[in-house]
Structure 1
Amino acid sequence: MSPLDLGGLAQDTEVLVAPVHLAGPGTEEAVFSVLDNAAGWTKTVAFETDTYYASPCQRVRIANPVESAYGGWTITYSEDPLGVPDWITTFDRNTPREIVVAFTKTLVDSLPNHFRDYFSDGELYTGLGQEDVLRRSNWEPVHGSRPYWIVSPDSRAALRTRSGWLDEYTELLTPEKSMWRLSGGVDPVHVPTWRAFFSSSTPQHLRAAAATALTSLDAVPRFAGDIPERHRDLVNVRLAEPMAAVPRAQAALARRPYAVHTPAPGAEAATSPASPAAHGRSRRQR
């Protein structure tokens, strides 16, 4: 990939960026597309900003609460749809969307038969966990570290595995105390730009899907203004082909802080009304 001077580009210039862990979050359109097109899933929009999905079996709940502490996406699974979650995964608002999409699409695709295809006797079982996937891409352990860390070859992405015992309820309530944390940035261990948390019971195939997306060598699409300032000297960038669908490009731009909010042609007619918020409900989120 040939180098490109980002300083000379308008912020809404479409570019291709590598590696993904330094590319910035990107737009959320692909995540919404996976869930909006998932058969039988229900969608609720609250407060005109926060989006919630539920699977047909009601075991999986997915939240995209914009003003929460983490933003991004929180995903829970409960064997008893009305019970305490068995596992929870949190992608903060800065996590590259490709990682969220890989996790979410694998979840949607494998849920109908309750992940049986990924069990040890299933046709899609690989036996690989997220650390196996990362080590295959030459990630290396940080010797003597506690908790245990492995880092990417460029030292700009890391996986932490928590040491010691912690009761499951504390882990479910506090993402920072999750069993695993993926992160990226100039200093991914101490001052990460983005973080993704996986509790102890998060299925192995879902964690592996996220790790596979993280280690992909493919350049990812971004607007030039999406790339974090601190990452600009660390990424490879080239110009992308213009987006074919103008309304899609405008919708993506509308989510950027530098965008001029001009609706795409026909956008008002295509937008479904938001579900009303529950009366008196608190907006307190995780």
Structure 2
Amino acid sequence: MPPLDLGELTPTTEVLVAPVHLAGPGTREAVFSILDNAAGWSKAVAFGVDAYYASPCQRVRIANPVESQYGGWTITYAEDPLGVPDWITTFDRNTPQEIVAAFTETLVHSLPNHFRDYLSGGKHHTDLSPEGVLRRSNWQPAHGSRPHRIVSPDNRAVLRTRSGWLHEYTELLTPEKSMWRLSGGVDPVHVPSWRAFFSGSTPQHLRTAAAVALTSSDPVPRLVGDIPDRHRDLVHVRLAKPTDVVPRAQAALARRPRAAHVPVPRAEATTPPASLVTHGRSRRQR
């Protein structure tokens, strides 16, 4: 099958896109659905657009302030609900929502018993670290890089890990200085299209969930108009609903005046059809 020409599709055409790190942010509905349906979680809306959630234990706070610097999701955990957060994770507004949803869903499920099911000896514990998940998907270390980086096979996504001592308050105040940063785009190191920051104390199982979503080979649903322009030549796209989509060229043809669809008359045959030769005389002429 020839590659799909995105220029021939309307911006509202539903498509499936891979890889996820180049697909664009997508809608926030999946994350909202997880939190809105989480038992006991409270929600507040400010300024008509900013959403704030709190867990039943009040240890986790999640914010989606649309007009903030990052404009995505900020998630904090504090063992003392009134104290300074122990860890913070920030997903900017362009982070693919599948990554945010994987992190958030795992957080909601693991919080009721304070993550014990995901720690060593727990029923959901695995030995996989985020780095292990990436290497399993053929991500490779960038030798000699400072800070340390692991790069995706297409060189369009990166995990950056800081080294050395860093004051915990620095991470809380400045996400760019967090211990870990996931990013993706044409130049994911210097000019990333999206960024996700994880402070040093962010639980491993939550970071692993984000890494699993990032490395998934499953295409993700998007509208054509939501795929970043710079990524269009780098993604694999197929129609989500082939029978329901009319490409632009066909749509333009359908809008032409009716006369444009009248076929050109064929030249008359030089000899009559065989049926007329055999039965040329009507019954009345006999």
Q: TM-score range by the shorter chain?
A: 0.7 to 0.9
Amino acid paired to 1:108: V
Q: CA deviation at 1:123?
A: 1.1
Which residue matches 2:214? 214
Q: Partners in 2 of 1:60 and 1:105 — Cα distance?
A: 13
Provide Cα deviations, 1:179-224, integer angstroms capped at 9, x if missing partner: 0000000010111000000000000000000000000000000000
SS in 1 for 2:213: helix
Q: CA deviation at 1:163?
A: 1.6
Q: Partners in 2 of 1:211 and 1:188 — Cα distance?
A: 16
Which residue matches 1:49? 49
Number of residues of Structure 1 aligned to a counterpart in Structure 2? 243
Which residue matches 1:224? 224
Q: Which moved more, 1:230-239 or 1:1-10?
A: 1-10
Which residue matches 1:169? 169
Amino acid paired to 1:3: P
Q: Partners in 2 of 1:3 and 1:113 — Cα distance?
A: 48
Structure 2 residue 146 is the aligned partner of structure 1 residue 149 = no
Q: CA deviation at 1:2?
A: 5.9
Provide Cα deviations, 1:67-100, integer angstroms capped at 9, x if missing partner: 0000010000000000000000000000000000
Which residue matches 2:192? 192
Which residue matches 1:118? 118
Q: Does structure 2 conserve the Cα–Cα contact (< 8 Å) formed by 1:17 and 1:220?
A: yes
Q: Partners in 1 of 2:2 and 2:235 — Cα distance?
A: 11
Which residue matches 1:138? 138
Which residue matches 1:128? 128
Q: Which moved more, 1:23-32 or 1:162-171?
A: 162-171
Distance 1:2 1:215, change over 3 A: farther
SS in 2 for 1:51: strand
Which residue matches 1:20? 20
Spell out structure 1 runs of 4+ moving beyond 6 A: none
Q: CA deviation at 1:129?
A: 1.4
Q: Partners in 1 of 2:186 and 2:28 — Cα distance?
A: 23
Q: CA deviation at 1:3?
A: 2.2
Distance 1:43 1:2, change over 3 A: farther
Q: Does structure 2 conserve the Cα–Cα contact (< 8 Å) formed by 1:77 and 1:87?
A: yes
Q: Partners in 2 of 1:169 and 1:191 — Cα distance?
A: 26
Larger radius of gyration: 2
Amino acid paired to 1:109: H
Q: Partners in 2 of 1:122 and 1:241 — Cα distance?
A: 42
Which residue matches 1:65? 65
Q: RMSD between aligned alpha carbons?
A: 1.2
Which residue matches 2:178? 178
Amino acid paired to 1:237: V
Q: Partners in 2 of 1:31 and 1:122 — Cα distance?
A: 26
Which residue matches 1:236? 236
Q: Partners in 2 of 1:133 and 1:2 — Cα distance?
A: 32
Structure 2 residue ranges without an equivalent (≥5):
243-286
Q: Does structure 2 conserve the Cα–Cα contact (< 8 Å) formed by 1:179 and 1:200?
A: yes
Q: Partners in 2 of 1:108 and 1:241 — Cα distance?
A: 32
Structure 1 residue ranges without an equivalent (≥5):
243-286
Amino acid paired to 1:6: L
Q: Partners in 2 of 1:19 and 1:105 — Cα distance?
A: 21
Amino acid paired to 2:161: T
Q: Partners in 2 of 1:86 and 1:16 — Cα distance?
A: 38
Q: Partners in 1 of 2:241 and 2:180 — Cα distance?
A: 37
Q: Does structure 2 conserve the Cα–Cα contact (< 8 Å) formed by 1:2 and 1:236?
A: no
Q: Partners in 1 of 2:80 and 2:8 — Cα distance?
A: 54
Q: Partners in 1 of 2:102 and 2:133 — Cα distance?
A: 14
Q: Partners in 1 of 2:191 and 2:129 — Cα distance?
A: 25
